Amino acid sequence: MSEHLHTPGDGKLNRHIFVNGNEIRNVFYADEKKGIVKFYPCPFRVKRPECDEAYSRTLRGDVTVEFINDTN
């Protein structure tokens, strides 16, 4: 997978994702090159009661990723 793509299972450890300088939580996809971030807003909710798909949002802008060291 490319270095500019970030997903929960990509093995790149913990990181903070920012769009235009604002930290975004619950991110499940980020593309630094294209400037796209997809995330689940809080509170979590499903699209329709009969559907198991969660409601998500997409943001576009200047995407930056800051890796964090976990010393625990």
| String of DSSP letters for 6-49 | E-TTSS---EEEEETTEEE-SEEEEETTTTEEEE-PSSP-BSST
Over the stretch 28-58, which tens digit does the pLDDT of each residue have?
999 999 999 999 999 888 887 777 788 899 9
34-56 burial, b for 16+ CB within 10 Å, e for fewer?
eebbbbeeeeeeeeeeeeeeeee
pLDDT at 72: 53
Round to whole Å and give the CA distance between 5 and 48.
29
**Two tokens, residue 27:** 């991110």
pLDDT at 1: 56
pTM given for the model = 0.83
pLDDT at 69 over 90: no
